[in-house]
Amino acid sequence: MFAAEFEYRKAGSIAEAVQLLTDNPEARLLAGGHSLIPLMRFRLARPELVIDIGGIAGMRGISVSGDTINIGALTTHAEIAGSAEVQQANGLLAEAASGIGDPAVRNRGTIGGNLAHADPSSDWGTVLTALGATVSVQGPTGSRTIDVGSLIEDAFVTALAENELITTVSVPTLAANQRAEYAKMAHPASFYSVVGGAVVVTMDGNRCTAASVAVGGLTPRPVKASLVEAALSGTTLTQDSIADATARLSEDLAAAGVDIIGDLYASANYRAGVAPIEVKHALMHAIGLAHH
């Protein structure tokens, strides 16, 4: 399968990429290509100009500064999964990265490209929303910061302007009393998330003092589960209290006003039924309870 014909330009810098985007609003950015190339080959995307940002220096790499992990947008999933610094500062990031696709896909796919593509079945959207991550975005008039939870507005739709690109993803480190976990039902062929639940809990002994919960895969964008979070906060976490809290998820999904995705593999009803179970599994992992 061949993509439709397109013009190819290689951007040497972030500024050049922004200028090319400004001059060609219909152009698409190419990083690792693991979202864009399949779309182009199926001709679901037919950009006349493709701007390759894959070689821009300074957009790749990981650094930890204080309580923030800064990840260049061109950093691959494999680099995040294999980073000792990331494993130390926020183990969930490394774990989520290692669950994306397969090894060769992780060697090419980038965190920035994944977020900009905004596929509902992306793991990063859900995990980074729960972790309270932000992206730095560069446009013609400067840079701005967007919460990942606000960046992804709908399936394949982001808050990015036509001439903005993601340059850095910033993720808080986990404190010693915080636990973060992600549980997903993966599609058996693509390993994409059918339903995923990500949690961050702050613990005082067995008591949860604060919780951040997000679900994705079943919704066009990651959904923050504030009722589940409220039910967890101040609660001693046990199998029963976790089950009670996650039972609130259907209300969170209703309040978010989003459609539940259904397809031949998993119907909307089925996904909605699985979602609280994935959140429950993530929470039980977080507090060291086996769930099977």
β-bridge pairing 235-236 and 28-30: unpaired
Residues 106-125 contacting other proteins, CB under 8 A = 107-108
Residues 187-246 contacting other proteins, CB under 8 A = 189-191
Could you tell me the smallest distance in angstroms from the CB atom of residue 59 to other proteins? Answer: 15
- The answer to whether residues 146 and 138 touch, using CB atoms and an 8 Å cutoff, is no
Work out which of 14, 17, 59, 78 binds other proteins, going by CB under 8 A: 78
Contact status: 104 vs other proteins (CB under 8 A): yes
**Applying CB under 8 A, which part among 89-97, 156-164, 183-191, 227-235 lies near other proteins?**
183-191
The H-assigned helical ranges of the chain are: 14-23, 36-41, 77-81, 84-89, 91-98, 103-108, 111-117, 123-131, 148-151, 226-232, 239-246, 249-256, 268-286
Could you tell me the smallest distance in angstroms from the CB atom of residue 35 to other proteins? Answer: 10
Could you tell me the smallest distance in angstroms from the CB atom of residue 47 to other proteins? Answer: 11
CA atoms in the 13 A half-sphere facing the CB of 272: 14
φ, ψ dihedrals at 213, nearest 5°: -135, 130
Contact status: 7 vs other proteins (CB under 8 A): yes
Contact status: 1 vs other proteins (CB under 8 A): yes
Pair of tokens at residue 146: 């967007």
Per CB under 8 A, residues contacting other proteins are 1-8, 10, 30, 33-34, 37-38, 40-41, 50, 52, 54, 78, 101-105, 107-108, 189-191
